[in-house]
Structure formats: structure tokens, C-alpha cells
Structure 1
Amino acid sequence: MKLHRLVLTNYRGITHRDIQFPDHGVVVVCGANEIGKTSMIEALDLLLESKDRSTKKDVKQVKPTHADVGSEVLAEISTGPYRFVYRKRFHKKCETELTITAPRREQLTGDEAHERVLAMLGETVDTGLWHAQRVLQAGSTAAVDLSECDALSRALDLAAGDDAALSGTEPLLIERIDAEYGKYFTATGRPTGEWAAAIAQLRAADEEVARCAAAVAEVDERVRRHADLTQQQAALADRSPSIAERLTAAQAAAGALAELADQVRQAELLATAAQGTCAASSAAQTERIRLREDVAARTAAVAEVQSQLAAAIEAEHTAREVVEMACAASAESTATLAAAQETVDEARRVVDALAADEQAQRLAARLDRIEAIEAQLAALTAELSRITLTAEVMADIESAAALVERIQVQLTATATTVKFTAGADLELTVGGQTIRLAAGQTWAPPTSSPTSVELPGVLSVRIDPGATTSGVQAKLEAAQQVLAEALRQGGVTDIEGARNLERHRWELAGNRDRLAATLTGLCEDEGVTEIRARLAALREAISPALLAAGIDGGAARAAFVSAIEARETARAEADLHQRAMAGANVRLTEKSTAATVLRAKLSDASAELDAATARLTAQRATCGDEQLAAQAAADAEAQRQAASAAAELAKQYAAADPAAVQAKLAEASAAATELEREHAQVSQALNDITVELGVIGNEGRQGSLDTAQIAREHAFAEHSRVSRRARAAQLLRSVMARHRDNTRQRYVAPFRTEIERLGRPVFGPTFEVEIDSDLRICNRTLDGRTVPYESLSGGAKEQLGILARLAGAALVAKEDSVPVVIDDALGFTDPDRLTKMGAVFDTVGDYGQVIVLTCTPTRYLGVQDAHVIELSA
């Protein structure tokens, strides 16, 4: 497959682009970022794989956002015996057109054209190889997988000498084996189709036989259960008389015990009532004694409180006189403190005015310095703005200069040296320029480009360098143009001037940063405007009359300190008198509070005494003290006699052993209840089983079991038949897979040899790689050191990936070749390996098309025979 032409119209941001590709060799398509290089690969895929009316996300995304138009893609392609021009328009007025020019001319449109292209590509192009032979930006370091490329497999078979395997029917045979295997197994090896149906049918037959056998066994179980229940019913009838006699005796004993229990309860009720009466009379007598004691105690407490109240009133009068004297002394000390404070305020105003004047002078000097630095910064900034050389431009200049120097060294090594030595004075004409040589003088003209040397009227010599030197000279001129463009952008004429200007720019930037840091330190947290405002405020606050008086700052500060000391002395005296007055007030408050509390306490105690006396008098009026004591003694005797009678009856009840009687009654009742329950259960179960046996007898379960066993034998026979075929297909597929893996192991060697042949000019003579059966690079060996592929650097992975694809392109047959597409790769590669990789590209370019998309064409200057196509916006 070869791509001859690609035309994009209204595709993403591309308005129109028409590119012609040579039939073989390396094509470098270069352009700026986002100019649409990767979009060319995407457009070719959409053209070949998607219909014009497709609504897939990939198709929708290519519609231009700036215009309501359809995207168009046209490609001219040759593959196998076919050559055709294929065009599609997406989104608006969808169209598909196909013009086949070889082997015979055809024209098709619409879905018919789409299906025809897919058929031609399916017939002549290895799709796996077409997608594998791409190095995209997002996966340039990923290991390439070429195991599914049939074209490469055929080429490796030939290289490995396996001629017997190339009958042309191997893929068809494997597909048929896989198809046969797919009838019985899924991709993961699980049964499917006819094999799964046979397994399911046998499983269902087994389940039906088990179900029918269980149903027959269920009938046998019910017959046995009927006999058991009949025996249980007879045994329960034999046990019934003895249990009834036992229950009657237990019920009689329980009746006698119940009568005795009633007598015990009556005696206990009488004892409880007598106990309550006794407790009430005893509590009344105890309350009468407590009330007499309470009245006596409260009378003594009232007398004590009256004595304490008289002493508290006397202490309150004394404290009030002390407070009056302390208040007079505090008022006098407060007046003295106010006078001292006025003296301090006047001295502070003088000191503050002098300090503000000093601060204003410092701010004025600071403003003068800030203004000077700002002027210097403005001058430096203006000078820096006139310099167009930036760090990025300088890096481009250094890179271009290094490339020029490297190519000049290469040119010097390959150029032919021609020297002319004059035997006498003479004049030579070189390209229209006259060269004068004295006798014995030597002149060596540059020979990197065609040069004509003439001795007028005598001799004409043309020096024509070889093709290699001319190619290197062309690269040198291209590199010099890049260097000249970088120098022009920097506003300099040569590399030395650029370096001097770069040093000067760095010095200016350093001075600017230093002055900016100084200015930042001077401004601190406020700007120049705030400083000026603060200076103006200070000058407005200073009294001109005070400054005109010429007051000495030291004397003013000394007077201010003296005034503060006098004020502090007066404040200490005032605080002392204030604390004394506060203490006197506190003591007065305490004494007044104590007297008030005692008055309240006396009032409460008197009221409580009167209340207690009234309660005692009222109770005595109802019942005297002696009468109350006699009633309490009589109630206690009656309670003792009732308790004695109840205890005697309780002893008789306990002797009758009520627990044993109740236990016998409970056991007899439980036995009777259990017998009745068991008899009912057995009768019900026996009746149910009799009914079930009558119903089951009409179901024909044994006949169903026989039918199920016959069906199971048929299912087992079908299962065995399908099983033999499924296992045979499985065995055949495993044998073919093992044979295919062995074949792959044989053709790994030619692929590894080709990669090592291409890689040794890049990595050195000790370069080796290890390839697995899927044709993936496992590890790389240099100078005897083996490193796994995943542990290699990004640059090495990228280079090995390109080498693997180029090796595949070199190995496949000419009729199976597809373009190798490299999208902006080798970004991780150093300049030395870039030059070596260029030689590899030249080697593989003879086998087919290698299309390189890049925004940095200088990476591929080492490709001598490259065809360069520059894209413009």
C-alpha cells in the first residue's frame, strides 16, 4: 500500500491542504504546533473506516467550529493491483466518491464505494501491520506489537527457511479450526452452543430421574409412616386409664391443701392489721416526744440570736464612722492627682511635637532616596526593553550554532582539499572574483560547493565536490539559515555579539532586581503615596509656635519624666486612700449584712418557736401524754397475739408439703394433656397419610420414573457424541496453537537480526536485543549489560520502537508493504543519535514510504535523501 496524495478541506482548523507524496523514500512533513499534522493521519483513518453519514464522536469532532460546512478528505492510494482516488464529505451534504484507475477503470458512489474500498483493502492490505507501523506522540515509548501482522509473519517464514509452511491456506485452516472450536467453546474455554446444550440436556435428564426416584421413595416412606402411626395410636390407648387415676388422686390432695391455705391467709390478714394499728400508736407517741424536745430547743436558739444581734448593731455603728473619715482623705488625694496629671499632659504635648518633627525629617530623607531609585529603575527598564534578545532566542541561537559547527566538522572531514601554488606572479578568476598570487604563494579554495577557477587566456578548472559533500553543504546552508534567522530575532549579527548582548542583558536584569529589592525594602508595607501623606500629616500636626520657641529636646524630656514621677507619687497616695476607703466600705457592708442576717434569723426562729408551741398545745388538747402511752402498749400486745396465731397455721401448711402436692398435680395434669395432644397428633397424621396415599395411588409415579430413565439414556448418548467432537476440536486447536508458537519461535531470529542490523549504527557494535514470540522487544544489551525494556530511558524506548517498525518495513514483501508513519518522535533523542537515526531512515527509505510528521525539522537533518514538505497555516 502506498499513499500518493492527500487533500483535506474544512477539516478541523485546516481550510484546504493538498500534499503529494513520493512513491518511496523518507518524507518529512514539517510545520508548527496545532497546524494539523496529526490530523492528516486521523483524516486518512476516517476516510477508510467511517461512512460519510456516521454520527460517531470521532467524526463529529473534526467539523470546523468557525463555519457551518462539511469536512472533506481525498486520498490517492495504490495497493496490490489497484490504484484509486477516494473522496468523502462528512457532516453537510454527505458524499462518497471512488474512482479506480487500475487494473481497470471503475467509478462508484455512496455505500457501494465504501464497501468496495473495504473489500480492496481487505484483499491486499494487512490491517494489523498498517496500524502497527505508526509511532504516535501519545505512545512513542510503548512497545510495538507485531504478532498479528500476517504479512510480516509470511516474510519471517521465508527468512527462517520454512518453505513448507507457505501453502497459502494456513490462515484459512486456522480460521476453520477456530470456527469449529467456537461451535463448542467460548473464547475463555467455557462450553457453548451444541456442547453446552448437550451438557444442559444431560443435566436436566439427571435432575428429572432424581426427581421421579424421590417421588417413588416418598410413597414408600408414607406407607412405612402409616404403620408406625397405627402402632403409636394403640400404645396411647393402653396408657390412658393409669394417667386418669393418677390425676384424680392429685386433684383431691390439692383441694385439701387449698382449704388450709385459706386459713393461713385469714390469720395473716389479722396479724397485718394488728401490726398497722400498733405501728400507728407507736408513731404518735414518738412524734409527741419529738415535739416536746423541739419546743425546748427552739426557745434556747431564740435567746442566743437575740444576744448576737445586740453585738452586731454596735459593730455596725463603729464601721460607719471609719468610712466617713476614709472618704474625706480620699477626696483630698484625688484633687492632688488631677493637678499632677495636667502637668504631665502639658509636658507630653511638648515631647510629642519634638518627636514628630524628627520623624518628619527622616521621612523626607527616605522619600528623596526612593525617588532617586525609581529614576534609576526606569532607566534600566527602558534599556532592557530595547534588547530583543530573550533567553529562549539565545537557546535557539546556541542550538543552531552547535548544529552549524557539527556539520562544518562533518564537511571538513568529507571535503576535498585543492591547493594552488604560483610559480610566478599571476591573477586567478574565481566565480567573477580576482585572486592575486605572488610567486611561491599557496591558495586553497573551498571545495564544499562547485567552484570554477580560471587563469585568463591560459586555463579553466572546475572543482566539483562529490555528492556526499554537496549534501553536507546543503545541510550546512540550511543550518546557517536557521542560525541567521535566530540571530535576526535576537537583533545581533553574530554568535559572539549575541553572547555579549546576553551577558549585558543579565547584568542589567541583575541591577534592576537589586534596585527593585532596595526599593521594596524602603517602602516596606506602605507605598510612596502613603509615606507622603504621613509626612504631610506630621507637618500639619506640629505647632509652628512651639518649634519657633526653640525648646531644647533634652530639657523637655527631663521635665516630662519629672512630671510623670510626681503624678505617680500622687497616684500611689490616691490609690492608698482609695483602698482604705474601699476596705472601710467593705467592713461596713459586712457589719450591716451581719446585723440584717441576725434580725431575719431572730424573726424566723421566733416564728418557728410559736408554730411548734401551737402544734404541741393542739395535740395535747386531743389526747394527753399518759393516755397516748397506754394506748400504744395495748396495741403492741394485740399485734403479738395475732402474729402468734398466724405463725401456728403457717407451720401446719408447711408440714403439708405444698410444693410436692403441686408438683404431683402438675405432673399428672401435664401427663394427661400430653397424652391427649399426642393422641390428637397421631390421629390427624394417620388421617393425612391415609388421604395422601389415596391421592398418590392415582399419579403413576413409577411410570414417570421409567420414562425419565429412558430420556436420560438418550441424553447421555447425545452428550457422549457431542463430547467426542468438542474434545477433538479442542485438541486440534491446542495442537495448531502449539505448532504456531513453535513457528513464531523460528521466525523471531530473522526479526531480531534485522533490528540488530539497523540498530548497531545507532547503539554500537555490541547492540543486541531479545525478542519474545509476539515479536516484542523484551530487553536490550550493550557492552554485555542487559536492561529490561521497561527500565530503559524514554529516548532509548522511542528509538527501539522506531527500529522495530523499520525492521518490519524492511522485511515484508514489496506487495505487502505499508507506509511507516512517525508523528513527532525522537523528542527524547540527543543530537549524536539523531544523526545516526537519520542514516537508518535513509537505509529503510529504499524499501517503501516513511512519512515523518514533525514541528522540529532540524531533528531529521541527518536524513540525507529526505523529501521535505513544509506546511503553512
Structure 2
Amino acid sequence: MRLHRLVLTNYRGVAHREIDFPDYGVVVVSGANEIGKSSMIEALDLLLESKDRSAKKDVKQVKPTFADVGAEVTAEISTGPYRFVYHKRFHKAPRTQLTVLEPRREQFTGDEAHERVRAMLDETMDTGLWQAQRVLQASSTAAVDLSGCDALSRALDVAAGDTATLSGAEPVLIERIDAEYARYFTGTGRPTGEWAGAIAALAAAEAEVARCADLLAEVDDRVHRHAELSDQLAGLTGEQAAADARYNAAQAASVAIMELRGQLRDAQLVATAARATAAATDSAQGERQRQRDELGSRAAAITLLDNEIDGVAQAQATVDTEATAADAAAAAAEQTVDAATKSAASARRVVDQLAAREEADRLADRIARLDATEVQLAEAAAELARISVTEPMLRRVEEAASACDRAEASLAAISATLELAAVADIDLVIAGEPTALPAGQSWSATVTDGLEVELPGILRVSVRPGDSAREASVKHAAAQAELADALAAAGVPDLAQARHAHQRRRELQGGRDQLAATLAALRGTDEIEALRARLTRLRGELGEISTESTPEQARADRDEAEALLAQATTDCEALRRAAQEAMARRTEGATRLTLLREKGAAQRVELEAVNQRLAAQRATLGDDELTAAADTNAQALRSAEQRVSELSEQLGAAAPEAIDAELAAAHTVAQELKARHAEASRALHEVEVELAVFGTQGRRGQLDAAQTAREHAAAEHDRIGRRARAAALLRSTMIRHRDDTRRRYVEPFRAEIQRLGTHVFGADFEVDVDTDLKICTRTLGGRTVPYESLSGGAKEQLGILTRLAGAALVAKEDSVPVVIDDALGFTDPDRLEKMGAVFDAVGSQGQVIVLTCSPDRYGSVSNAHRIDLSA
């Protein structure tokens, strides 16, 4: 297969691109990332594989986003005896066109064209080889698998010297063996089809026999179960009668215990009531005694409190006198602080005003410098505005002048020169102008647009320039017009003035930038109007300052006034704290005196309340009557507690816990026996029902039928098993012979890889290749390294060498293009140089297409045909 031409229109981001490929050699197609290099191979695959109306994701993704049109792909390809031009448009208004150029001209459209191309490719091209001969960005380091490429296998058979004449039926035989094997086994060797069905049928028959045997065993189990349950039910009936008698006796003993417990509970209630009554009487008697004691203690406490109040009142009078004196001293100190504060404020104001005068002077100088700088900046800007010559304009004028000079020189070089020499005085008309030419003089001119020389009344000579001269004259006129336009746009008469104006513009721009920087430094972060307003405010404040004061004297006066203020403030704070402490003592004493007086009044009120409560209680029940009631209630309590003790002893002697335990145990045994009897009866009934059902199912006949079916399944299993094993043996034998054949033609493939690899790795380079034509190890300098342990660059280089070796070995009619998409990114400069020799060695035998964004990687490929997509 050869790719001669590829045209993309509205494909992804490519509006239109057409590339012609040479039939042989290395083609390096370069361009920036995302310019659409990889899209070329993708487009070729879609053209060959997908129909124009396909809705697959791969087809949808190539629709352009910049216009509502369909993506179009056209390719001119030759394969075997065929050469054809194939065109498809996808998405919008889909279309397929095919023109077969060789061996005879044919034309097809639509699905018929698609099927015709597929038929030609299937007939002449090894699709596996076409897919394998690509080095893509995403898999440039993956191991190359060429084992399924029939074209390479045929080439290796020839290279290995296999001269056996093939009958042509070998692939058919292998396919029939594989088909027969596939009837019985999967690709991984597991049973399938008839063999799996026979195995499953035998297993199912054996399972059915086992199931029927289990059903028959179930009947025997139910018969034995019926006999066991009958014996168990008879035994449980006798045990239940004995358990019922035990439970009745325990229940009678429990009733007697319950009566004794009721009597004890009644006696305990009586004792509880007597205990509560006696406790209430004792409490009332104790409360009466407590009130009598409280009456005496409160009277004594009131006497002590009155003595304390008299002492606190005398101390309070002394504290009041001290607080009044401290307040007067603090007030005088505050007046002194106010006077010192005013004096310090006046001194500070004088210092601030003097500083303001200095600042005003500095600010006035800064504003004056700002104004001067702004004036200079405005003058520079005005002059810059008058100069219209910019850098682009100057370049345009220079380029136009240069073009004009080149056109003039070219015109002078190719134009004819007309020269007239006068032998005698003569009057001529040259270009319509009378011209006198004295004897011995000459006249000459370069003829560019044509010239007429007339000897009035005698001769007219017309000189016409050639075509090249006229074209040069037109170019010269156009160059002069362009120069005139450029000079007019720049506003200068000639190139020298333009350069002078541009130089002046650059000088003014530098001066303007320097003035702008100076102005920005002077202004800082302040606005000019704010600075002027600040200067006005400062000058308004300067009139209040005495001119006799100096800044040093003003600062000394300020420091002295602030020292006096600090001392006065310290003294005032001390006197104020003393006054506050005296006030706190006076307030504390007054508060304490008030609290004591309130406490005395409260205690007198409480004393009166105790007297009234005690009198009321005595009026209701006297002290002697309360004592007699307490003795009576104590006697009743002792009688009730004695009755409770007697009943408790009787209940303890009757052993109630043992009777309760016996009743619970008897009840539990009776319930368990009843439940077991009911469960046994239910189970016996269920077994009788199951036996009645089993009698209608014919389980013995089912077992006999299942055993017969198992014998038939076993016979079928043996028959099919013999055929399956025979197919497996035949296939394994064929595979063994095929592997032997592959080992013979691995050697030519390995030799070709080593031949190409010596250009890159050196003369000591060796590889080991398995029967699937994959590189297993690489040996270099006597060191053997597995392929998977190699670096990314070495894997990438070996992958390209493998594909190029395959391209070099296959027959001319079976070859396909080798496509390398942006590979060798992991390769160092030295090996890049050496890889160029490999490309040159293989390029002469086939077509190698390299897509790259770094064309320098393939600079060492001396015979490459280079296509720049960015140009």
C-alpha cells in the first residue's frame, strides 16, 4: 500500500490541507502542536473504516466547530494492482465517491464505493501489518506485536529458506482444526459446546439419581420417626399425671403461707402508724424546748448588739472629719493641675506653629519645583505631538526607500541607454522638447518608458523598452509612489528628515520619561491641589507666632511646662487617692452602723415573734399535757412492734421460700411436660400426613428412571469426550509444528533488527526475539537487560527499529507505510543523529511518514522529503 495524496477539508480545526507524498523515502511532516498532524492518520482511518453516515463517537468528534459544515477526507492510494482516489464527507450532506484509476478505470458512490474499497484492501493489504507499523504518541514505548501479520510471516518464510511448496489449503486446514476444537473447548481450554453439554448432562443425571435416592431415604426416615414419636408420647402421658399431683400439693401449701403473710402485713401497718404518732409527739416536745432556749439566747444577743452600735457611732464621727479635710486638699491640687495644663498647652502650640512655618517653607519649594517640572513636561509633550514619525512609520519609509533604490538599480541594469553624438551643429526634438546639440557634444538617456527623437522634417526615431524593462519601470513607479505615500504619512520630505525626526522623537520621549519620573518623585502619593491647600492653611496659621521666639527656646519652654504639669498631676493624684480612701472609710463606717441598727431592729422583731408563738402553743397544749401524750404514744408503739415480731417468727418457721420454690418448680415441670406432649402429638401427626403423601409419589420408580438416564448420559459423555480429546490432541500437535516453523523464521527478523540497530547502538548490539516476534531482551556491551527494564528512550528506539525491520523484510507488493507520530522524544542527541542513518537505510525500500512538532529531531535524515504545515 502507498499513500500518494491526502486532502482534509473542515476536519476538526483544519479548514483545508492537501499533502502529496512521494512513493518512496522518508517524509517529515512538521508543525506546531494542535495543528492537526495526528488528525491526518485519524482521518485516513475514518476514511477507510467508517461509513459517511456513521454516528460513532470517533466520527462525531471530528466535526468542525468553526462552521456548520461536514468534515471531508480525500486520499489517493495504491495497493496491489489497484490505484484509486477515495473521498468521503461526514456529518452534513454525507457523500462517498470512489474513482479507480488502475488497472482499469471504475467509479462508485455511496455504500457500493465503501464496500469496493474494503474488498480491494482485504484482497491486497495485510490490515494487521498496517496497524502494527505505527508509532503513536500514547504507545511509543510499548512492545511491538507483529505476530499476526501474514505478509511479514510470508516474507520470513522466504528469508528462512523454507522452500516447501504450499498446497494453499494449509490455512483452511488450520481453520477447520480450530473450528473443530472450538466445538468442544474455549480459547482458554475450558469445555464448551457439545463437550460442556455432555459434562453438564452427566452431572445433572448423577444429581438426579442422588436426589431420588435422597427422596427414598426420606421415606425410611419418616417410618422410623413415626415409631420413635409413638413411644415418646406414651411415656410423656405418665410423666404428666405425676407432675400434676406434685403441683396441686405445692399450691395448697402456698395458700397457707399467703394467709400468714397477710396477717404480718396488717401488723406492720399498725406498727408504722404508731411509730409515726410517737415521732410526732417527740418532735413537738423537742420544738417546745427549742423555743424556750431560743427566747433566752435572742435577749442576750440584743444586749451585745446595742453596745457595739454605740462604739461604731463614735468612730464614724472621727472618720467624717478626716474625709472633709482630704476633699479640700484634693480640690486645691486639681486647680494647680489646670493651671499647669494651660501653660504646657500654650508652650506646645508655640512649638507646633514654629514647625508649621518650617514645613510651609519646604512645601513652597516643593510646589515651585513641581510647577517648573510640569511646564517642561508640557513643552516636551507638545513638541512630541508635532512629530508624526513613529517607529513603524520610519520602518515603512526606510523599506520604501530601499525598495525604490532596488527597483531603480534593477531598472538601470536592464534598460537600454540611448546616446547621440553630434558631428555638426544640429537641432533635435527629444521627447517633444527642442534640444540643440552643438558639434562635438553628445546626449544620452536611459530608456525606461519609451523615447522619441526627431530631426524635424527629416527623421523620427522611436525607442521602446523590452517587457522586462517595462515591468521594472512599473515596479520602480510603484516603489516611488509607496515612498511618496510613506513620506506624506510621516510628514517629512525625505528619508534623512524622517530619521532626524525619529531621533528627535526618541530624545523627547527619553526627556519626557525622565521629567515624568521626576514629577512622580516630587509628587509622591500626594495630589498637587492637596499640597497647595495645605500650604495655604499653614501660611494662615503663621500670623499667630511671635517672631522673637526661636524653635530651641520654644522647645525648652515646652519641656519645662510639661515637667511642672507632670509633677502637679502626680501630687494631685496622690491627694485624690487619699480623699477617695477617706471617703471609702466614711462610707464603710456609715454602712456598718446602718447594718448594725437594722440588725438590732430585726432581732427585736424576731424575739417578739418567738414570744407570741410560744404563748399560742401553750394556750393550745400545756407543757405537762405534752409530756403525758408522749409517754402514751411510746407505749402503743412498743405493743405494735411486739406483734410484728411474733408474726415474723411464725412466717420464718413455715419456710415460705422453700414452698415458693417448690410451687415454681412443680409449675415449670408441669408446663414443660405439657408442651413436650403437645409437640410430640403435632410431630406424630405431621409424620403420618407425610407418609400418606409419600405413598402417592412413587419414589422407587423415580429412582429407577434416574439411574437409567444416568447410564445413557455416561455413554454420551464417553463418546463426545473421545472426540473432544482427539480434537485437542490434533490442535496441540499443529500448534507445536507451527511454533517450530515460527522459530525458524524468527532468526531472519532478529538479524534484520540487529543489522539496523548497529547503526544506533554499535557493533556489540544484540536482541533476543520470541516466536511472537517481540523483543525479549537487549544485549549491549556484554550486558543483557529485559525489555521491560529498559529506559523509555531505548524502548522507543527499539520499537521504531522493529517496525522498520518489518518494513524492510516484507515483499514490495505487501508493504504498507510506516507512520511515526512525534516519537523519539526520549532520545538523546547522539542517538538521534544515529537514527537518521537507519531512516535513510530503510527509506529507499518503502514509504516512511514522520509526524513531528520538532523537525530538528529528524535533521540527520539526509534524504528526507520535508513538509512544513506552519508555512
Bucket of the pairwise TM-score, normalised by the shorter protein? 0.7 to 0.9
* 8 Å CA contact retained: 2:277, 2:633: yes
List runs of 5+ in structure 1 lacking aligned partners. Answer: 379-384, 388-511
Pairing partner for 2:867 from 866, 869, 873? 869
Identify if the C-alpha distance between structure 1 residues 615 and 861 changes in structure 2 by more than 3 Å, giving closer, same or farther: same
Pairing partner for 1:849 from 847, 850, 857? 847
Counterpart in the other structure of 1:760? 758
Q: CA deviation at 1:337?
A: 1.6
SS class of match (1:7) = strand
Counterpart in the other structure of 1:109? 109
* Structure 1: distance between partners of 2:47 and 2:208: 59
Q: CA deviation at 1:283?
A: 2.1
* Structure 2: distance between partners of 1:248 and 1:210: 55
* Structure 2: distance between partners of 1:787 and 1:226: 79
* Structure 1: distance between partners of 2:308 and 2:728: 119
Q: Give the stretch that moved more between structures: 132-141 or 281-290.
A: 132-141
List runs of 5+ in structure 2 lacking aligned partners. Answer: 381-389, 393-509
Counterpart in the other structure of 1:483? none
Identify if the C-alpha distance between structure 1 residues 207 and 165 changes in structure 2 by more than 3 Å, giving closer, same or farther: farther
Query: C-alpha offsets along residues 417-447 of structure 1, whole Å, 9 cap, x if unaligned?
Result: xxxxxxxxxxxxxxxxxxxxxxxxxxxxxxx
Q: CA deviation at 1:51?
A: 0.6
Query: C-alpha offsets along residues 622-664 of structure 1, whole Å, 9 cap, x if unaligned?
Result: 2122221222122212221222232122212212222233333
Counterpart in the other structure of 1:698? 696
Counterpart in the other structure of 1:501? none
* 8 Å CA contact retained: 2:367, 2:531: no
Identify if the C-alpha distance between structure 1 residues 649 and 35 changes in structure 2 by more than 3 Å, giving closer, same or farther: closer
| Structure 2 counterpart of 1:862, one-letter code | S
Identify if the C-alpha distance between structure 1 residues 272 and 870 changes in structure 2 by more than 3 Å, giving closer, same or farther: closer
SS class of match (1:308) = helix
Q: Give the stretch that moved more between structures: 283-292 or 570-579.
A: 283-292
* 8 Å CA contact retained: 2:145, 2:772: yes
* Structure 1: distance between partners of 2:128 and 2:270: 113
Which structure: larger Rg?
2
SS class of match (1:23) = coil
Identify if the C-alpha distance between structure 1 residues 146 and 556 changes in structure 2 by more than 3 Å, giving closer, same or farther: farther
* 8 Å CA contact retained: 2:822, 2:852: yes
Pairing partner for 1:573 from 571, 595, 598? 571
Identify if the C-alpha distance between structure 1 residues 355 and 60 changes in structure 2 by more than 3 Å, giving closer, same or farther: farther
| Structure 1 counterpart of 2:577, one-letter code | R
Q: CA deviation at 1:104?
A: 4.0
Query: Is the counterpart of residue 840 in structure 1 residue 838 in structure 2?
Result: yes
Query: C-alpha offsets along residues 745-770 of structure 1, whole Å, 9 cap, x if unaligned?
Result: 54443333222221222333333344
Counterpart in the other structure of 1:14? 14
* 8 Å CA contact retained: 2:327, 2:579: yes
Counterpart in the other structure of 1:134? 134
* 8 Å CA contact retained: 1:367, 1:531: no
Query: C-alpha offsets along residues 297-344 of structure 1, whole Å, 9 cap, x if unaligned?
Result: 333333344433444444444433333322222222222222222232
Q: Give the stretch that moved more between structures: 735-744 or 356-365.
A: 356-365
Counterpart in the other structure of 1:121? 121
Identify if the C-alpha distance between structure 1 residues 318 and 187 changes in structure 2 by more than 3 Å, giving closer, same or farther: farther
Counterpart in the other structure of 1:822? 820
Q: CA deviation at 1:117?
A: 1.7
Counterpart in the other structure of 2:621? 623
Q: How does 1:553-632 map to 2 (within 5 A)?
A: 553-632=551-630
Counterpart in the other structure of 1:66? 66
* Structure 2: distance between partners of 1:745 and 1:632: 127
Query: C-alpha offsets along residues 757-812 of structure 1, whole Å, 9 cap, x if unaligned?
Result: 21222333333344455444455444345555556555444433322221121122
* Structure 2: distance between partners of 1:36 and 1:774: 34
SS class of match (2:51) = coil
| Structure 1 counterpart of 2:587, one-letter code | T
SS class of match (1:684) = helix
* Structure 1: distance between partners of 2:600 and 2:732: 117
Identify if the C-alpha distance between structure 1 residues 224 and 140 changes in structure 2 by more than 3 Å, giving closer, same or farther: closer
* 8 Å CA contact retained: 2:263, 2:647: yes
SS class of match (2:526) = helix
- Kindly tell me the number of residue pairs found equivalent between the two proteins: 733
Query: C-alpha offsets along residues 160-181 of structure 1, whole Å, 9 cap, x if unaligned?
Result: 4455597665655554444444
Identify if the C-alpha distance between structure 1 residues 88 and 577 changes in structure 2 by more than 3 Å, giving closer, same or farther: same
Query: Is the counterpart of residue 150 in structure 1 residue 146 in structure 2?
Result: no
Q: CA deviation at 1:54?
A: 1.1
* Structure 2: distance between partners of 1:679 and 1:56: 76
Counterpart in the other structure of 1:804? 802
SS class of match (1:4) = strand
Query: Is the counterpart of residue 530 in structure 1 residue 526 in structure 2?
Result: yes
* Structure 1: distance between partners of 2:356 and 2:208: 112
| Structure 2 counterpart of 1:65, one-letter code | T
| Structure 2 counterpart of 1:651, one-letter code | E
Counterpart in the other structure of 1:658? 656
Q: CA deviation at 1:7?
A: 2.0
Query: C-alpha offsets along residues 89-138 of structure 1, whole Å, 9 cap, x if unaligned?
Result: 11121111222233444332212221222222223222222122222344
Q: How does 1:324-339 map to 2 (within 5 A)?
A: 324-339=324-339
Query: C-alpha offsets along residues 699-741 of structure 1, whole Å, 9 cap, x if unaligned?
Result: 2222223223333333344444444444554555555555555
Identify if the C-alpha distance between structure 1 residues 554 and 11 changes in structure 2 by more than 3 Å, giving closer, same or farther: same
Identify if the C-alpha distance between structure 1 residues 300 and 56 changes in structure 2 by more than 3 Å, giving closer, same or farther: farther
Counterpart in the other structure of 2:634? 636
| Structure 2 counterpart of 1:530, one-letter code | D
Q: Give the stretch that moved more between structures: 781-790 or 635-644.
A: 781-790
* 8 Å CA contact retained: 2:356, 2:542: no
* 8 Å CA contact retained: 1:181, 1:726: yes
Counterpart in the other structure of 2:404? none
Counterpart in the other structure of 2:212? 212
* 8 Å CA contact retained: 2:333, 2:572: yes
Q: How does 1:448-463 map to 2 (within 5 A)?
A: none
Identify if the C-alpha distance between structure 1 residues 236 and 535 changes in structure 2 by more than 3 Å, giving closer, same or farther: same
Counterpart in the other structure of 2:485? none
* 8 Å CA contact retained: 1:74, 1:86: yes
SS class of match (1:343) = helix
Q: CA deviation at 1:838?
A: 2.4
Q: CA deviation at 1:153?
A: 3.1
* Structure 2: distance between partners of 1:24 and 1:584: 119
Counterpart in the other structure of 2:402? none
Q: Give the stretch that moved more between structures: 146-155 or 618-627.
A: 146-155
Identify if the C-alpha distance between structure 1 residues 347 and 811 changes in structure 2 by more than 3 Å, giving closer, same or farther: farther
Q: CA deviation at 1:365?
A: 8.3
Counterpart in the other structure of 1:88? 88
Identify if the C-alpha distance between structure 1 residues 241 and 797 changes in structure 2 by more than 3 Å, giving closer, same or farther: closer
Counterpart in the other structure of 1:689? 687
Counterpart in the other structure of 2:40? 40
* 8 Å CA contact retained: 2:367, 2:532: no
* Structure 2: distance between partners of 1:783 and 1:666: 98
* 8 Å CA contact retained: 1:367, 1:528: no
Q: Give the stretch that moved more between structures: 672-681 or 622-631.
A: 672-681
| Structure 2 counterpart of 1:813, one-letter code | A
* 8 Å CA contact retained: 1:230, 1:686: yes
Q: CA deviation at 1:261?
A: 3.3
* 8 Å CA contact retained: 2:357, 2:542: no
| Structure 2 counterpart of 1:333, one-letter code | A
Q: CA deviation at 1:52?
A: 0.1
Query: Is the counterpart of residue 4 in structure 1 residue 37 in structure 2?
Result: no
Identify if the C-alpha distance between structure 1 residues 361 and 724 changes in structure 2 by more than 3 Å, giving closer, same or farther: farther
* 8 Å CA contact retained: 2:350, 2:545: no
Q: CA deviation at 1:849?
A: 0.6
| Structure 2 counterpart of 1:656, one-letter code | A
SS class of match (2:23) = coil
Q: Give the stretch that moved more between structures: 782-791 or 616-625.
A: 782-791
